[in-house]
Amino acid sequence: MSPPLVIPFFIPHQGCPHLCVFCNQRLIAKQTSETQKFDNETERLSDAIHTYLQFKKNRSRVELAFFGGNFLGLEKARILTLLKAVQPWIRQGQIHAIRCSTRPDTITRQVIDLARPLGLETVELGVQSMDDQVLALAERGHTSEDTRKALALLKENGLKTGVQVMVGLPGDNDCGAVRTAKELSELKPDLARIYPLLVLNGSRLAQWYRSGRYVPLSLDQAVTQTKKMVKIFRCSGVSVARIGLQATPMMDDAGQMIAGPWHPAFGHLVLSALMFDQACEQIGTLLTGRQGIGESGEKKSVVLQVHPRSLSRLQGDRKTNIDRLTQAYPGICFYIERVDSLDIDKVHARILNV
């Protein structure tokens, strides 16, 4: 089944009572033109729906998503205005559900009772970390216990849940990121999104970076931490819906994005790293109990089987995975075989019989 068409509608920073150290949304909001104020919000929402529905093609499901802000933290009247604006498309069967992102500490039974009857089906929580010291240093204004309570209440009321987490937060480290993924996996959200922390101009974090108080992760460090979190989520049955930030003009503007592990294909780097690890595990299994490959001076041949859609993941960025495998196993010649029946996230290795 093809994934749903998700129509994103952004409400940057709105409804959020806090300014986290990594956020510069209020600076951006000051630069926003009057046409972007929320007094014509329903009109812009209607335009967005009309535009995105043109790209539905053969997808059977469409969801409207309120992203970028603390949706359930908006004033009650505004929540109702936005949700009611979507109802004509829901009644016509053109939109099948609504989803939103929000802070864990805004989840109450009252706000759920307000939004769920109007089509809200999925709530993604801006968790960021499950380490209370990290949350406090980032000035998030909520705790890990708020996340636990929010997920429990959402599940109790039949809503699907998502968690959004960051790697590279001040005070966090590799072990902390792993603990966050493990704790969240135990709470069984339906999906997760993982983002690397970037240093944006106008944020408190930018001041810390310039003074040397904060050192961002390198790209390799961010990929490694994220890879570990993805493994944990997957093993627990939590779908990883997104890895990395969406490319925007801001990311290419050195005046706004001043530091951090930015890469336009960050998700691909992480998935490629996971494929490399799997390939090594598979090769290790093949070698168990066999004569050391290459010891006799004879080259061995190994076929790496992968789903066609995952070919680029297996090869790696600029085919770096194949180069690394060749260096790691100098006695092996590698061949790649595309197999439609394989899971898209799996790679299988076999000895080539010649």
pLDDT tens for residues 326-349? 999 988 999 999 999 999 999 999
Residues of the chain with pLDDT under 70: 1, 13, 25-39, 289-298, 353-354
CA 174, CA 320: separation in Å to the nearest integer? 24
Query: Given this model, what pLDDT does residue 33 score?
Result: 43
Nearest alpha-carbon partner for 23 in 229, 234, 195 = 195
User: Which DSSP symbol is given to 335?
Assistant: E
Please name which of 138, 109, 105, 149 lies closest in space to residue 17, comparing C-alpha atoms.
105
Q: Which residue has the tokens 């590799």?
A: 174
Q: Provide the 8-state DSSP code for 213.
A: S
The Cα–Cα gap between 277 and 286 comes to: 14
pLDDT tens, 253-307? Answer: 778 899 999 999 999 999 999 999 999 999 988 887 554 454 555 678 999 999 9
Q: What is the pLDDT of residue 34?
A: 38
Would you mind telling me the total number of residues written for the chain in this entry?
354
Tell me if the pTM is above 0.85. Answer: yes
Residue 225's nearest CA partner among 256, 201, 194, 254 is 194
226 to 100, 199, 235, 290: CA distances (angstroms) = 23, 18, 14, 34
CA distance 252 to 90: 37
Beta 62-67 vs 191-196: how paired, if at all? unpaired
| Burial grade of 151 (CB within 10 A; 0-12, 13-18, 19 or more) | buried
Q: What is the pLDDT of residue 286?
A: 86
Q: What angle do CA 242, 248, 251 make, to 5 degrees?
A: 100
Backbone φ and ψ of 174, nearest 5°: -60, -45
